[in-house]
Amino acid sequence: MNVMNERQRFLATMHYLPRDRSPICDFGFWSETIDEWHNQGLPQRVIYKNYDGTSANEFFGMDEYSGGPGFNVGLCPGFEYKVIEDRGDHEVVQQGDGVRVLRKKHMSSIPMHEGHLLVDRQSWKEHYQWRLDPDDPRRYPQDWDQAKRIWRDNGRAKPATLWGGSLFGWLRDWMGMEAISYVVYDDPAWFEEMVTTVADCIVASLTRVLRTGGVFDGCSIWEDMCYNGGPLLSPAHFKQFLVPHYKRITGLLRSHGVDIIWVDCDGKIDDLLPLWLDAGVNCMFPIEIGTWGADPVKFRKQYGKQLLMMGGFDKHIMARSKEAIRAEVLRLAPLVEEGGFIGFADHRVPPDVPLENYMYYLHCVREVWGHGVNLKPIGQICPPQCAGHAVQR
């Protein structure tokens, strides 16, 4: 088969079509992981993001599954990011979503919420509602003509994807988990108003971009509305309040030819997955394995080819033995071969994964999943024990 570019390979994989090989991708890395790997032989020029050095994804020869000119479907303008209080190793900051959090200065762990501006209907109107005006020109690329050229280029080599925002995850962050849970029961009309306002902004913003005549390869939605025991919102409330708006978004996307729509949700998604599928979402990401034992192979048996998947490689295995890494790569190989699945770590690679193990994982997936075909080069590292390893099938 002829060499495919990253866009062609991504689209063929997600449509179960012939391709030269599976995409080789990753969700990313903790910044502390890259720092630790520098001590283990990763060149100092390799950094978490591609600002003044080589990005980690570029160094490790990853394919891209999303990209293109960005635009904002959420709060606009965002809140000022500022440090409110210094507590030594920690600091209290106001984030761009207005939430005050306690965060470690030198660690990427999830920060603890310290306070919220969104506490009632009045604060909703004062701080948030007006920031969800889809007509605010600051939402869209400054170089609108250049963005349109990229979106309309059906011969581009890399995917161009859309950002579909969040219906529940944002509100949960803005109010806090406890407060939003009470609102669903104590003032469901207000909860519905907030969800509708957010959805209206997303739909109108997407509509403006879709009407450019752009040819888009997928759309990413974020929720993170599950934990290790199941969803943070009951399936009944999910169906009542969220599904109608998901259908608005997915219907709009499909009317413009966008038929790969994924939700980024951690945790145990089992109870919500059929509702997402019914609402027009057809791909889940990153299929977090967790203590609840999620498994992309079982999901494929349960839902068949209607469910596309990305992720699904237990990141904890990467910190174990090379034998365990190889075994999981081989276990997932039939699913990779079938298509509709792009395997990678089920969340950002944490710093307890040795660089040597990650390099072994990478060489395994390039040989087993990628068949050694048309692969992007990997940068050179030291020490030499991190070099490629033969993979036994």
| Residues whose CB falls within 8 Å of the CB of residue 306, separated by 6 or more in sequence, listed in order | 277, 282
Task: Please tell me whether the peptide bond between 377 and the residue prior to it is cis, using omega within 30 degrees of 0.
Answer: no
Instruction: Report the pLDDT value the prediction gives residue 384, as an integer from 0 to 100.
Output: 53
Distances (CA, A) of 90 to 86, 106, 136, 153: 7, 8, 35, 46
SS3 261: strand
- What mean pLDDT is predicted for residues 142-157? 97
DSSP conformation letters of 83-122 = EEEEETTEEEEE-TTS-EEEEETT--SPPEEEE-S--SHH
* pLDDT 10s digits, 80-101: 999 999 988 889 999 999 999 9
Q: Which CATH number fits domain 67-74+120-283: 3.40.50.720, 3.20.20.210, 3.40.50.980, 3.40.50.300?
A: 3.20.20.210
Instruction: Report the pLDDT value the prediction gives residue 387, as an integer from 0 to 100.
Output: 46
* pLDDT 10s digits, 304-362: 999 999 999 999 999 999 999 999 999 999 999 999 999 999 989 999 999 999 999 99
Q: Is the pLDDT score of 158 beyond 50? A: yes
* pLDDT 10s digits, 243-268: 999 999 999 999 999 999 999 999 99
Instruction: Report the pLDDT value the prediction gives residue 52, as an integer from 0 to 100.
Output: 64
Distances (CA, A) of 108 to 29, 35, 102, 158: 10, 12, 12, 29
Q: Is the pLDDT score of 171 beyond 60? A: yes
| Residues whose CB falls within 8 Å of the CB of residue 206, separated by 6 or more in sequence, listed in order | 73, 162, 164, 219, 249, 252, 253
**Encoded tokens for 285:** 């990401």
Domain definitions of the chain by residue range: 1-65+286-290+306-393, 67-74+120-283, 80-116
CA distance 162 to 250: 12
Output the pTM of the full model: 0.94
- What mean pLDDT is predicted for residues 146-175? 97
- What mean pLDDT is predicted for residues 20-28? 96
Tally Cβ neighbours within 10 Å of residue 48: 19
Instruction: Report the pLDDT value the prediction gives residue 106, as an integer from 0 to 100.
Output: 73
Q: What rounded mean pLDDT belongs to the chain?
A: 94
Q: Is the pLDDT score of 391 beyond 60? A: no
Instruction: Report the pLDDT value the prediction gives residue 389, as an integer from 0 to 100.
Output: 47
**Whole-number percent of the chain with pLDDT over 70:** 95
* pLDDT 10s digits, 42-85: 999 998 776 567 899 999 999 999 999 999 999 999 999 999 99
CA distance 258 to 301: 25
